Structure 1
Amino acid sequence: QETRSNEESTDESEEDESEEEPKLKYERLSNGVTEILQKDAASCMTVHEKFLALGTHYGKVYLLDVQGNITQKFDVSPVKINQISLDESGEHMGVCSEDGKVQVFGLYSAEEFHETFDCPIKIVAVHPHFVRSHFKQFVTGGKKLLLYERGWMNRWKPSVLHEGEGNIRNVKWRGHLIAWANNMGVKILDMISKQRITNVPRDDISLRPDMYPCSLCWKDNLTLIIGWGNSVKICSVKERHASEMRDLPNRYVEIVFQFDTEFYISGLAPLCDQLVILSYVKEVSEKMEVECCARPRLDIVQPLPESCEEISSDALTVRGFQENECRDYHLEYSEGESLFYIISPRDVVVAKERDQDDHIDWLLEKKKYEEALMAAEISQKTIKKHKILDIGLAYINHLVEKGEYDLAARKCQKILGKNTELWEFEVYKFKEIGQLKAISRYLPRRDPVLKPLIYEMVLHEFLESDYEGFATLIKEWPGDLYNNTIIVQAVVDHLKKDPQNRTLLRTLAELYTYDQRYGRALEIYLTLRHKDVFQLIHKHNLFSSIRDKIVLLMDFDSEKAVDMLLDNEDKISIDRVVEELENRPELQHVYLHKLFKRDHHKGQRYHEKQISLYAEYDRPNLLPFLRDSTHCPLEKAFRIYNPLYFFLLGRMGNSRSALKMIMEELQDVDKAIEFAKEQDDGELWEDLILYSIDKPPFITGLLNNIGTHVDPILLIHRIKEGMEIPNLRDSLVKILQDYNLQILLREGCKKILVADSLSLLKKMHRTQMKGVLVDEENICESCLSPILPPDASKSFNVVVFHCRHMFHKECLPVSNTISTVQFCNICSAKHRGPGSAILEMKK
């Protein structure tokens, strides 16, 4: 609990360290009260809904407004005022004092009663409806309880209601019932029948009634609350059934709740169906080891039939509490407003129920901003002190201080709403702490729209550190939020440092598209092979821009590119496409083939060219093409089709016939060599050498290409002396160079192999030299019991292999070999390799 200064603090209450919210709030009654209590001491007080009446030890009675300002002052007696009573109208007051004086007078009339008794008068109570002429009654008492009634000729007639049981200590009048307490207990009198209907005896007779007085409080016209010592009783006045009356009063009292409290009771007040109790507390001093007065407590409890449930408990630091006794404290309350006044000699504290503003204050103090914001939204029509926006801003600041930047940014959407100034302020605040990225996702994009500078600042932040995030924002944000030219230039500057960055290139293309610079966007999309390139061309009619980019389009997606080109022949002619694809015959074939499928006659001038293209790239479709086309020369087709025949002969196993046809009919040594390479048959090479041995051009071709497949010496030995062979010297030099190259390759490979083997051997050696952890969790792979013995002090032998399998030494089978090296049984069963050798540990 928090302890505040005794004199200077306007201590509301000592707050519990727990998260439970207090039920009441406290403030010291100041202004005129402060001035009074500096020179005097409070002895009693009564509360009316319009004003307060305070009695002092120097015999003064002050009328105060609810702020504590003095409105009237009465010098009643030179000694202590014991009790003040007001009627319900607040127009008549009864006062009694320690010197036996009793006064009942009108505050706004000349009506007045004075009487002085020969003993101290402790109590006085005027009729609740004293303002009415036929209710001019009041009770007072010292040793007797006297009822005064105004009768004939305005004379006051006294009558004794009760005597003989000691001094009257307290009295409360409600409706037609009067309750009073004396040394023996509490009595209730029915003023209609003038009968006493109950006697509630005092429980703890060991307590002095003058030091621990009885507290009385009417909850309503038929419910009386009694507090005496540490006992609380709630009594209900009920009507007696006619059959039970006989000589008994027509009313009786039933005790509906009764319970004991931890401390002594100084005052009681109702709060709905709960009870407010002012308690006097004593505690043992740690220094002097004697009982001393502690701070009084104000508790709210829920009465139960034989006990109570504590709802809240507050310790109050009233001025001078160390010197006060139980009788010095009083609790008064205002029924209409749920105000509770704690009166002590040097202080008056007001307790009131906490409203929604107080609830929000408590939540903010406990840093429960989310709940405070929700409470403010629910009660926005009733709260007076707080504004939803202020709470929201405090919540955002709190989240930022905690480092929860993303949540703080998300809350900005709800809290800042459409306030552009606050949005811009928060963005700059996030920039100062380096968290622009966090708020970027939640910036408004429509209604409201912030200044372009804000969005540009965020984009620059991402551009410096997060290209992917930058690209996402460009894709999500409308282009009119920022100055497109500035952002384009920034991206271009970054691309100078990293020209191949695909993310930046893709983002730049999107910026160009928004800026209607479609040509530049198209170039980037084609470079990136972006899927949206065809959509961009169609959407913005960019066919004039792709005349020189047909190869790029075909490389990216030949099927889509061909469909687009054929669908738009009027914009890009067939001749232009064929011309652009001249250096890419495989793409040229794809385009012309699809053109032929659509229309056999449109590309007729290219049919002769297509024969070669089909033969090279699409032989299965060559015959259908020849069958359907009426514009291709058949003699060329026949020439082209012959190699297919050779190929078929080879596939059918008649390789020698195929080779003979190539050599005799085509006279093409290169194709013959290629055919022999494909077949990879030694006899076929022998046939090729035999056929070529008398043909010098063929011998040159063989010398240049045979080296990697057949030993050139076989060919050279068969060449006749004196035969002239074209470029023989160059061919021989090439053979020698190829041989040297092979030797160098072999030596290089050998060096690499040796170096790698040595490196791996060293690595294996280092690995096997490392220690192996052996602990209680490891088990013997043979007997499956823990590898370490329970008693570590005894000697033991453990065998640990590099493969991490472990055995008790006695569990390993005895090796039959002469070698001392043992191998892991488990690994040896599979294969024996590095890592299965032994590592023995002894203790």
Structure 2
Amino acid sequence: MNEGDDQENGVFSDSFEENLENFNPENDPFDIEDDDEPPLEPRFKYERLKGEETMPFLKTATFTSIDLHDKFIAIGTANGSIYVLDHHGYGNFDSVPILKPHRCPVTKVKFDETGSYILSCANDGKLVVSGVGNDKLCCTVNIQVMPKSISFAPDFIRPQSGHCFVMGERNLILYEKRMFQYKARNLYSGSERDGFINCCSWNDNLIAFTNDTGTRVYERGVEKIITSVQPSHDVDRVRSSRSPPKHMWMPDNVLVIGWADTVTVIKIKDVDGVRRGEVHYIFHVSMFVCGISYIPESGTENTELFLIGLQMEGEDCMDDSMSVMSTVTTLTALESSARTELKTCVIRPLGLKEYELQSEDVIESVKLSPHTLPSMIQGLGIPYLRTYFILTNKNIIMAVPYGPEDGIRWRLKYNLYDEAFDMAKHHADLLAKTEHSQMNVGRMIIGGYLAGKRAKAAASRLPYICGESKEEWEWASEQFEKVRLCTLLADVLPDGSPTLEAKTYEKVLLACLFNNVGQFRKLVKRWSPDLYDTSEIIKSVQWRLQTITKSGDAKLIEEHESVLMDSLAHLYLYERKYENALKILMSCKDFQIFNVIDKHQLFDRVRDQISELMDINTDRAVKLLLDNADSVEPTFVMEKISRQPKVQLAYLTKLMSRNEGAEFADKAVQLYAEYDQKKLLPFLRKNVDYNVNKARKLCSGKGYIEETIYLLAKSGNHYDAVKMMVKEYGNIEKVIAYCKDQNDPDLWVHLLEVVAEFPAHFAQLIIEASNCLDPLLIMEKLPNNTDIPDLSDALEKLLLDYTNYAELQQCCYESTLNDLNVLTQNLLATADESVPVTVSTKCAVCLEIIINSSLEHKKFNDIKVFKCGHIFHISCTAEQTDRRQSMKMVEDRGKCTACSDQIEQIDI
């Protein structure tokens, strides 16, 4: 049960240990301190050609030159031979025999664009074009100088192209085939001061060449030099023979020049039909450039450069060119005893003189002599294949991009666990069957954190590493159990999707029970009881409680007992042992007992413990009682809490807010008067079920003035209420307002009699009562032989108000008479008006036109006209009158029957 109990030693399972030897603390990866900043991540890995095992010459020959094609490698050696191999170092010398064009070391070799021919030179004064499975254009050109650089024309193999190539010594000479021999033409003439042309390259119709005075670009067609770039280092101190320049053409006619410790990037642009070069970047790097290539990106502006170079051991990031020069001087004199290192780096240009170092590697597998010069190292690459080759006198190293396994291995070495797992997850399908699969890397990371005593970090990453894999979660829990840190799994262990074995959850619960009781309680409340065996956990909690109680440690008991009891109550609830759970919650006075009762409908089990529930939380207990009103009578509740008057008051307040408990109204008045006077008056006003006389006596006995006055008024004893208000308030305004509300003239008279004893208020009363009483009555009630303040002003206002009132009545009377006269005159004028009869006027009864020539003359003359505007035939009115009389309706013959009908309809 206890994590402190003895467990098996070891962190990993046997099979896991077999695959992860590097987790041994005596080995590397996870012993590196996280505080140490890791170096830049390598972009390439370096390996010797696989053909070394089958090609003996690769172990014995001295290499002097190299060139690459998409299909082959051409290697020149010190005995004048040239070997053509594939990119892995294998050669088929039956199909492509060893070339032996020279009798001394081959200084330069160059493939044409198709890989069909190789151009080579040496100090024997020969330029040799050799075929690779083709001998049509093979030739040898004897010259009188020792060539330093060579290059094929891009269209060398194309017919009618002239099959040109160039050679650089002091001069740059173009060789063009004419019939049976090559004709030489001088493109550039250099002096002795200019030095040798140690590098030349041909791209499109542009020929770039470099001597000690700088790099020039010659354009075929216009046959002139279109740009010249001077060196940015001290050529006198770093001779080209010791650190020769290197060229590389990139897309869009971009030329990269690596020379000594500088890198220059120029671009040939067409401006108004004239080509010229522009310098885009000039960098100083921390090594002597021996080879240069690039890594293709989305655009040339962001293209990364791959540099191969030589550096003195210990020289870190030498930005000061003078430091570099002093190093070179020592090398040139062959006096340096310092060890040199072969390095590669990847840089990304940012500005004219700024770049960002992307990666930097020291090729430790190649051991160099202290006298190794940059001219002894060569480097080339095939950018679109992202494959690069480095040549020393005795070694050929191939640099290939890091694969996912290499990247993961490097990240694990430097404890970059998150990055390692991200890469493993991204390449999950590719690495599925390798030792660096997503599962294995995840286990390595967890093991690394645990071995490095960073278990919290390991636990926090488990959801991401294990995901929804039940197997991985089970494995991880075993590792944490072995190092006795299962409590760290409490916050991360999944309780669904996936659902683990019950023993896994039980291990974590038991670990928390003995080490972190707070966490244990959280898990008990959060985890579903279906995940583990609750009966076993209950036994463990009971045993733990007994242990704590027996220990006699007061602090331990105080900190742990209540928490464990709460947890035990929840466990009982899971097993539906409600009696045990309620007993614990009641003893602990836990507020959660109300939620438990509501959720599981357990009110019947606690109805006899109402007072205890009230002690826990009165409001919640009252709500519980009201919600279960059907199960318990208010009389029973009031009896149970009879010794708790305040609780009774709270209960009655809630009960009566639901318009229930009318029989306890008098009790409520008593409790409010005793414990909460502020709510007494609102209750008296709202409730009508209490005994008014009892309540008045109670309030009077306790000296509650407002309540007593209200009850006097409610019982109809307004005189006593007014008298008490005058005596107690000392403020006549409230009394006046009360009398206005009652609207009783006799009450005003009584008020005058009462206020007569308080002359200070009489003047104000006179003014207020002037609108309600006869002034003469007010004058009669004036006390004799009493000094009344402001009496004269009050009487003056009284008389003025009465005068105004009398005048207003007179004005109203006169206004009414005038209105009556006007209305009468209007009525008479209307009655005198004539009633027009036109050709379209109809009888109000038969609706026939009154004036109609087709009718009989007699009927035309017999009409009756009323002042209301209705016109009838006399015969029609007679018929209508007879009908109404037959219906026993009284009809006035002088009255308009149409108007009478309308009135009758309205009355109905």
TM-score (norm 2): 0.55
Which of 455, 480, 489 is equivalent to 1:405?
A: 455
Work out the CA distance in 2 between the residues paired with 1:356 and 1:544: 67
Aligned-partner SS, 1:473: helix
1:107 matched residue in structure 2: 132
Work out the CA distance in 2 between the residues paired with 1:185 and 1:46: 24
Deviation at 1:453? 1.2
Work out the CA distance in 1 between the residues paired with 2:353 and 2:581: 83
1:213-270 Cα distance to aligned partner (Å, 9 max, x none):
443333456444445555665555455768xxxxxxx655566656766765544445
1:69 matched residue in structure 2: 90
Work out the CA distance in 2 between the residues paired with 1:257 and 1:565: 86
2:202 matched residue in structure 1: 173
How many residue pairs get aligned? The number is 592
Aligned-partner SS, 1:444: coil
Deviation at 1:127? 2.1
1:772-829 Cα distance to aligned partner (Å, 9 max, x none):
xxxxxxxxxxxxxxxxxxxxxxxxxxxxxxxxxxxxxxxxxxxxxxxxxxxxxxxxxx
Deviation at 1:360? 5.2
Contact in 2 for aligned 1:554/1:587 (Cα 8 Å) = no
1:429 matched residue in structure 2: 479
Deviation at 1:526? 3.0
2:246 matched residue in structure 1: 215
Deviation at 1:504? 3.0
Which of 490, 496, 505 is equivalent to 2:565?
A: 505
Aligned-partner SS, 2:583: helix
Work out the CA distance in 2 between the residues paired with 1:387 and 1:530: 51
2:81 matched residue in structure 1: 60
1:747-796 Cα distance to aligned partner (Å, 9 max, x none):
xxxxxxxxxxxxxxxxxxxxxxxxxxxxxxxxxxxxxxxxxxxxxxxxxx
Check 1:517–1:81 CA distance in 2 against 1; reply closer, same or farther (3 A cut).
same
Check 1:391–1:84 CA distance in 2 against 1; reply closer, same or farther (3 A cut).
same
Contact in 2 for aligned 1:467/1:504 (Cα 8 Å) = yes
Check 1:94–1:481 CA distance in 2 against 1; reply closer, same or farther (3 A cut).
same
1:129 matched residue in structure 2: 155
Q: How does 1:365-764 map to 2 (within 5 A)?
A: 365-373=413-421, 389-497=439-547, 501-542=561-602, 545-546=605-606, 549=609, 552=612, 586=643
Deviation at 1:468? 3.3
Report the AA paired with residue 336 of structure 1: Y
Report the AA paired with residue 543 of structure 2: D
Which of 94, 115, 121 is equivalent to 1:90?
A: 115
Work out the CA distance in 2 between the residues paired with 1:194 and 1:334: 30
Work out the CA distance in 1 between the residues paired with 2:47 and 2:176: 39
Aligned-partner SS, 2:186: strand
Contact in 1 for aligned 2:268/2:278 (Cα 8 Å) = yes
Check 1:588–1:81 CA distance in 2 against 1; reply closer, same or farther (3 A cut).
closer
Work out the CA distance in 1 between the residues paired with 2:354 and 2:575: 77
Work out the CA distance in 2 between the residues paired with 1:110 and 1:493: 96
Work out the CA distance in 2 between the residues paired with 1:428 and 1:144: 76
Aligned-partner SS, 2:70: coil
Q: Which runs of 5 or more structure 1 residues have no equivalent in the other structure?
A: 1-16, 243-249, 631-643, 649-843
Aligned-partner SS, 1:341: strand
Check 1:599–1:333 CA distance in 2 against 1; reply closer, same or farther (3 A cut).
closer
Contact in 2 for aligned 1:319/1:346 (Cα 8 Å) = no
Q: How does 1:342-381 map to 2 (within 5 A)?
A: 342-351=390-399, 361-373=409-421
Report the AA paired with residue 218 of structure 1: W
Q: Percent identity?
A: 24
* 1:322 equivalenced with 2:370 (yes/no): yes
* 1:204 equivalenced with 2:248 (yes/no): no
Deviation at 1:71? 4.0
Deviation at 1:345? 0.7
Check 1:456–1:280 CA distance in 2 against 1; reply closer, same or farther (3 A cut).
closer
1:27 matched residue in structure 2: 46
Aligned-partner SS, 1:471: helix
Higher RCO by CA contacts (8 Å cutoff, separation 6 or greater): 2
Check 1:140–1:496 CA distance in 2 against 1; reply closer, same or farther (3 A cut).
closer
Check 1:376–1:38 CA distance in 2 against 1; reply closer, same or farther (3 A cut).
closer
Check 1:232–1:460 CA distance in 2 against 1; reply closer, same or farther (3 A cut).
closer
Deviation at 1:535? 4.6
Report the AA paired with residue 589 of structure 2: R
* 1:80 equivalenced with 2:74 (yes/no): no
Contact in 2 for aligned 1:60/1:81 (Cα 8 Å) = yes
Report the AA paired with residue 391 of structure 2: I
1:814 matched residue in structure 2: none
Q: Which has the larger radius of gyration?
A: 2
* 1:161 equivalenced with 2:190 (yes/no): no
Contact in 2 for aligned 1:86/1:128 (Cα 8 Å) = no
Contact in 2 for aligned 1:99/1:121 (Cα 8 Å) = no
* 1:138 equivalenced with 2:165 (yes/no): yes
Deviation at 1:439? 1.1
Work out the CA distance in 2 between the residues paired with 1:541 and 1:313: 72
Contact in 2 for aligned 1:105/1:111 (Cα 8 Å) = no
Report the AA paired with residue 507 of structure 2: M
Deviation at 1:21? 0.9
1:348-383 Cα distance to aligned partner (Å, 9 max, x none):
233456677665554433223234445666787999
Deviation at 1:92? 2.5
Deviation at 1:289? 7.4
Moved more, 588-597 or 229-238: 588-597
Contact in 2 for aligned 1:445/1:481 (Cα 8 Å) = yes
Work out the CA distance in 2 between the residues paired with 1:518 and 1:131: 97
Contact in 1 for aligned 2:390/2:397 (Cα 8 Å) = yes
Work out the CA distance in 2 between the residues paired with 1:59 and 1:573: 118
Deviation at 1:46? 0.6
1:677 matched residue in structure 2: none
1:584-637 Cα distance to aligned partner (Å, 9 max, x none):
9737998899799966889xxxx9xx9xx99xx99x99xx9xx9999xxxxxxx
Report the AA paired with residue 165 of structure 2: F
2:60 matched residue in structure 1: 39
Check 1:117–1:568 CA distance in 2 against 1; reply closer, same or farther (3 A cut).
closer
Deviation at 1:106? 3.6
Work out the CA distance in 2 between the residues paired with 1:587 and 1:211: 107
1:38-66 Cα distance to aligned partner (Å, 9 max, x none):
21011111111222211111222222222
Check 1:55–1:424 CA distance in 2 against 1; reply closer, same or farther (3 A cut).
same
Deviation at 1:346? 0.9
Deviation at 1:313? 5.3
Work out the CA distance in 1 between the residues paired with 2:308 and 2:499: 59
Q: Which runs of 5 or more structure 2 residues have no equivalent in the other structure?
A: 1-35, 313-326, 550-556, 692-697, 703-908
Deviation at 1:141? 6.2
Moved more, 49-58 or 539-548: 539-548
1:762 matched residue in structure 2: none
Contact in 1 for aligned 2:431/2:438 (Cα 8 Å) = no
Output the aligned Cα RMSD. Answer: 5.0
Aligned-partner SS, 2:475: helix
Work out the CA distance in 2 between the residues paired with 1:189 and 1:240: 16
Check 1:324–1:105 CA distance in 2 against 1; reply closer, same or farther (3 A cut).
same
Check 1:281–1:483 CA distance in 2 against 1; reply closer, same or farther (3 A cut).
closer
Contact in 2 for aligned 1:103/1:112 (Cα 8 Å) = no
Report the AA paired with residue 563 of structure 2: T
Moved more, 31-40 or 351-360: 351-360
